[in-house]
Structure 1
Amino acid sequence: MVNWSTDSLTVPAGYETPPFPSLRWPTSNTFETYNYLYYKSDVWKFTLYWTMIMYAGFYGVAALWAALMGRKLVQGGITVGVYLAVGGAMAFLSGSIVGAILALVYSAGSFIMSTWIPFVWGVVQIFTLVMSSYSMSSIVL
């Protein structure tokens, strides 16, 4: 069982988990603790949140497009609901798995994580989803 409360890192005195999204550009001259995540649970949460935001955006646009093409109000509402439910379930599962793996890998290496890394992994997951939705991508790859 994974112990999410302790890490092998030494957390700076007075450190508080940065508020979501905390996408500040890390400067090379100063070490600011609000740009970094130290706890595994924070890495998991940030990755999960970004993944859910990315999936909601892409599945939301696809759901609206499908509803507009259907031209029936009831059918369009059901379509949007199904798209968002499936997208939400996929986002939760994917974000949880990737977040847990990132947290464990960074913790095993005693690394601290920039708040940008969970954002980037959310984008990577969406690009992978979009790329895998094309049937020709499996032939090219």
Structure 2
Amino acid sequence: MASNNATTSVPPDYVTPSFPSLYWLIGPHEVVQPSYLYHEGDIWRFTLYWTLIIFEAAHLAVAFYAMIIVWWGGRNGLKGPKGEKEEERKGKRPPGGKVKKFKVLWIVPVVYAVVAGMEAVLAGSVVGLMLGAVYNAGGFRMSTWIPFVWSIISVLVLILSSFSIQGGL
């Protein structure tokens, strides 16, 4: 009785493709041969790498946006919480408050990058191991696009979960 294991369907001359090994899905396939993943460790590794890249890009984009908002707001003297201009609040702030804000502003992308790395390792490992288990259980080959797509799905779930859903019945 033959087992339904992915190792039985791995071609004898199979070599794990190098990362990222994405190929163009539309058009002639003679240009670039499609790359497939067969082993669970390779599926996990590709998913982890793509999740790290996508999570870092998303978090750093948000971090730089936050830095621009803080920098621009401090530079242009936006109105305070009571509608006062910065010139009207001069005496109400301790000296050096504005300079201190800009000295520690570089910490924002560093913190975001570290948090993104931790989230990506957790999400990429869970999704990658689950994908590897499902594809190996079925004895299927996996396109190198699948880990990329699942990393985008993971970051979209992260973005969606950052909003509080109020309302309901």
TM-score range relative to shorter protein: 0.7 to 0.9
Identity in percent: 41
Asked if 2 retains the 8 angstrom alpha-carbon contact of 1:54 and 1:126, the reply is yes
| CA 12–33 in structure 1, closer or farther in 2 if over 3 Å, else same | farther
Equivalence map 1:1-141=2 (5 Å): 7-25=6-24, 34-71=34-71, 72-136=101-165, 139=167
Asked if 2 retains the 8 angstrom alpha-carbon contact of 1:17 and 1:34, the reply is no
Q: Which moved more, 1:8-17 or 1:52-61?
A: 8-17
Q: Which runs of 5+ in 1 are unaligned?
A: 1-5
Q: Return the alpha-carbon distance in structure 2 between the equivalents of residues 126 and 119 of structure 1.
A: 11
| CA 27–46 in structure 1, closer or farther in 2 if over 3 Å, else same | same
Q: Write out per-residue CA displacement over residues 29-64 of structure 1, whole angstroms, 9 at most, x where no aligned residue.
A: 97x975110111110010001111110110000111
Number of residues of Structure 1 aligned to a counterpart in Structure 2: 134
**The structure with more helix, counted as a fraction of residues:** 1
Q: Return the alpha-carbon distance in structure 2 between the equivalents of residues 116 and 49 of structure 1.
A: 12
Q: Which runs of 5+ in 2 are unaligned?
A: 72-100
Shift, 1:17, TM fit: 0.8
The residue type paired with residue 90 of structure 1 is E
Provide the residue aligned with 1:3 in structure 2: none
CA RMSD of aligned residues (A): 2.6
Asked if 1 retains the 8 angstrom alpha-carbon contact of 2:16 and 2:37, the reply is yes
| CA 69–23 in structure 1, closer or farther in 2 if over 3 Å, else same | same
The residue type paired with residue 22 of structure 1 is S
Q: Which has the greater radius of gyration?
A: 2
